[in-house]
Structure 1
Amino acid sequence: MEVPMSLNHSPETQNKLIARVPTVTGRELPEWFQAIDNGPAFLRCEERANWLADEHGLTHGYAAAIVLEHERHRRHRL
């Protein structure tokens, strides 16, 4: 699956954002993954990131990082 450019972070930036998610958001990644799984069934990563940002008051950078990490985990589970 191709990831839109607006959601592409460098690996270093992605890792830094993901490491800060619990501190910045007050929630661990599994909680965010569950929110995505229980949220609307968007087909595109960008739509999921926009929903996450709007619904949960996240910056788009953190929302995109969480969505990308969710996609990585989902691919490994298949």
Structure 2
Amino acid sequence: MSQVFSEETHRNMLARIPHCTGREVSDWLRTVEEGPALFRFEEKVSWLRHEYDLAYGHAKAIVHEYDLRRAARKLL
């Protein structure tokens, strides 16, 4: 898996995403869920960047949050 931000940096990045992109994080997570069946972290980041013209850091934070939430669902 790709290197990830520190927890604090990740939370700060997520907090800025709605202001910078005009969409809530939950909308972006749904976009990743409904997007193409990409398996690798960097493939998802690249897809978001090119499809939605996102900055690398924002795309990376969205995919990281998606993976965290997906892993938490598997633990239940």
TM-score normalized with structure 2 length? 0.90
- The Cα shift of 1:37 comes to 1.0
Question: How many equivalent residue pairs?
Answer: 74
Q: What residue identity is the alignment partner of 1:63?
A: A
Aligned equivalents of 2:37 and 2:66: distance in 1?
14
> In the alignment, does 2:29 pair up with 1:29?
no
Unaligned regions of 5+ residues in structure 2, if any? none
Moved over 3 A (4+): none
Give 2:40's match in structure 1, choosing from 40, 44, 60.
44
Per the alignment, residue 2 of structure 2 pairs with 4
Q: What residue identity is the alignment partner of 1:4?
A: S
Per the alignment, residue 20 of structure 1 pairs with 16
RMSD of Structure 2 on Structure 1 (CA)? 1.0
- The Cα shift of 1:62 comes to 0.4
Identity %: 39
Aligned equivalents of 2:50 and 2:5: distance in 1?
20
Per the alignment, residue 75 of structure 1 pairs with 71
Aligned equivalents of 1:75 and 1:35: distance in 2?
17
- The Cα shift of 1:34 comes to 1.1
TM-score normalized with structure 1 length? 0.87
Q: What residue identity is the alignment partner of 1:58?
A: L
- The Cα shift of 1:11 comes to 1.6
Aligned equivalents of 2:29 and 2:13: distance in 1?
15
